[in-house]
Amino acid sequence: MSIIKLHDNYFKPYISKEKVEQSVKLLANQIANDFKDEVPIFIGILNGSFILAADIVRNYPYNCEVSFVKLNSYEGTKFSGQVNELIGINEDLSNRTVIILEDIIDTGSTLQKIYDIFRTKNVKTLKIASLFLKPDVFKKELPIDYLGMSIPDEFIVGYGMDYNNLGRNLNSIYKITTQTMTNIVLFGPPGAGKGTQADSLKEKYNLVHISTGDIFRYNIKNKTELGILAKSYMDDGNLVPDEVTINMLEAEVDKNTDAKGFIFDGFPRTTSQAKALDTFLSKKGETIDGMIALEVPEDLLVARLLERGKTSGRPDDQDETKIRNRFNEYNTKTAILKDYYTNQNKYFGADGVGSIEEITNRLSNIIDTI
């Protein structure tokens, strides 16, 4: 699940498909326990409840009937203040048990209209079942007999609910959001100037630059719990498990609650790490917007690193064999991640040859499109 755009608004993940399904099954079972000895008629309130009605009927273990009535009270994301009966009920409901199925109840104005309509139908029993209720704005003293879950007063879409006719087909629930982060995975081979570009981009877009190397060094130097754990693996000559690395990363993200987005540098390096990052961000209603890889000819970078090695003091910048081994490792990892992000239409290659300003402009053009 990731942030989506419907018309002019953005929506972020809110309630999972699994939780929705669990609530629907609970509603069906509660109703079945009360009316197993008769044949109720379920009446869905269109358009929003058409998916709910179908799933309730599919989960209902006994005989039942289904019909619909169409009411309308929303314009865009706001309650219009008027509830109009657009399509009435044609079945004879005399002495019948009627279960009204609502996708969501907020102010209760639609619910009041429902009671007004069915008060004249001479029904035996009238019950209300709603998947969602917004108790903070519910203004009517009317009974709601079966409820899936209560939610705050936030505009939601999905599972039949829409924003100006879009979003009904989403199988999980999204809520409107006014701010979206820009989250970038920045990749580049050794010597490509990735650190320099990250510094420029974080200033230009007001993003937080998270370098895995810096995080490791900070945690180890300050002897944090995660740092001590990571060092224990490193001292034994073992790779630090993904779980430890992602926990460090999560802690760093959580420090920056007001961030407009992140540049992830040095992470992920494997598909499992990319999936772990997606999972973590999705819990916050966020996602990776793109992986940007600086593309520079290897021979040019080898020459650049050998030149840098004359002053950097880094042994791995002074041996061409070691440098090319680093490129092999980078190419292998990048190829795997390239496929992962390409499958999501999130991989972007950028020419990494030129002045710092020229390369920054190329990267900026990519970020501006995503």
Q: What does the alpha-carbon distance between residue 281 and residue 215 come to, in Å, rounded to a whole number?
A: 18
Q: What does the alpha-carbon distance between residue 218 and residue 214 come to, in Å, rounded to a whole number?
A: 6
Q: What does the alpha-carbon distance between residue 184 and residue 66 come to, in Å, rounded to a whole number?
A: 48
Query: Which residues of the chain form beta strands (DSSP E)?
Result: 4-6, 9-15, 41-46, 65-75, 78-87, 97-105, 125-133, 146-150, 156-157, 173-177, 182-187, 208-211, 261-265, 290-295, 347-351
25-31-32-38 Cα dihedral, nearest 10 degrees? -150
The yes-or-no answer to whether 4-177 and 182-369 have a common fold is yes
Which class would CATH give 182-369? Answer: alpha beta
Predicted TM-score of the model (pTM): 0.55
Is-contact 294 193, C-beta < 8 A? yes
Q: What is the DSSP string of 169-220?
A: T-SSEEEEES---EEEEEE--TTS-HHHHHHHHHHHHTPEEEEHHHHHHHHH
Q: What is the CATH number of domain 4-177?
A: 3.40.50.2020
Q: Token pair of 240, please?
A: 């630090």
Return the pLDDT at 98: 95
Give the amino acid at 341.
Y
Domain locations along the chain? 4-177, 182-369
DSSP SS3 for 112: helix
Q: Which residues 6+ apart lie within 8 Å of 299 measured at CB?
A: none
* Residue 192: other Cβ atoms inside 10 A: 23
R_g of the chain computed on alpha carbons: 28
Taking only the tens of pLDDT, the chain with its 370 residues reads: 567 888 878 888 889 999 999 999 999 999 999 999 999 999 998 889 999 999 999 999 999 999 998 876 555 555 555 555 556 677 889 999 999 999 999 988 888 888 888 888 899 999 999 999 999 999 888 899 999 999 999 999 999 999 999 999 999 999 988 656 789 999 888 788 888 999 999 999 999 999 888 888 889 999 999 889 988 888 877 778 888 888 888 888 888 877 889 999 888 888 888 998 988 887 777 889 899 999 888 888 888 888 777 777 777 667 888 788 878 877 777 778 888 999 888 999 999 888 999 999 999 999 988 7
